[in-house]
Chains A and B, each alone.
Chain A
Amino acid sequence: GAVVSQHPSWVICKSGTSVKIECRSLDFQATTMFWYRQFPKQSLMLMATSNEGSKATYEQGVEKDKFLINHASLTLSTLTVTSAHPEDSSFYICSASRQGYTDTQYFGPGTRLTVL
């Protein structure tokens, strides 16, 4: 139980295009989902926290107009990188907390984004 999937697992796009990454909790309802970014040999940096049905809360320094987060249901959150540029290339990871169990996060396998 407590499986989180991400799609796609990797994506290559041209500069200026938008890319959508999906995060799904497969066997539980997730009231809260988190989006992280991981640079090579660095820790995961939280980008934003989203609760189902409400606007995401972004961390300081994260551009909310560039990284659009939607948490439309208790099993799906999406991250859209708008007008992507090479500096947006990174490993994006989502996690989800079960309804009523906010102290444990279950992580997806990550999405590798490469912007040419």
Chain B
Amino acid sequence: GNSVTQMEGPVTLSEEAFLTINCTYTATGYPSLFWYVQYPGEGLQLLLKATKADDKGSNKGFEATYRKETTSFHLEKGSVQVSDSAVYFCALSELTQGGSEKLVFGKGTKLTVNP
């Protein structure tokens, strides 16, 4: 079945450092790819998504490019802030028999940014 593998954390960075969180996937077909973020005490929020090869999703300074040739969707940010401290989940979508989109998640990567 489809699966998502993301780098294990935790990741600790200083403010203004460059961030990369690796994510690779295994899938049949061409799924949509997502990054979700979970801030402490809150539910998961969609950070960005890409629906086809070579698409770049971006939001709040974060970017990720759908790379079909390397089956990857790495998350990057040029200069992290303390407020970016959270758990980040990579995910892909697959269609269920009933026609709804089902998400398959990676294990999550905890990011801590120190001032």
- Point out residues on A near B: beta carbons under 8 Å: 4, 6, 32, 34, 41-46, 49, 51, 57, 93, 95, 97, 102-110
Contact = CB atoms under 8 A, between A and B. Distances in A.
B102 to A, nearest CB: 6
A49 B105 contact: no
Interface of B: 4, 32, 36, 41-46, 49, 51, 89, 93, 96-108
Contacts, number: 60
B25 to A, nearest CB: 13
A103 B101 CA distance: 6
Nearest to A57: B98
19 contacts: A4-B43, A41-B108, A43-B89, A43-B107, A44-B105, A45-B105, A46-B102, A49-B96, A51-B98, A57-B96, A57-B97, A57-B98, A95-B44, A97-B100, A97-B101, A102-B100, A103-B93, A106-B46, A109-B42
Contact of B98 (A6, A44, A49, A106): A49
A42 B107 contact: yes
A49 B102 contact: yes
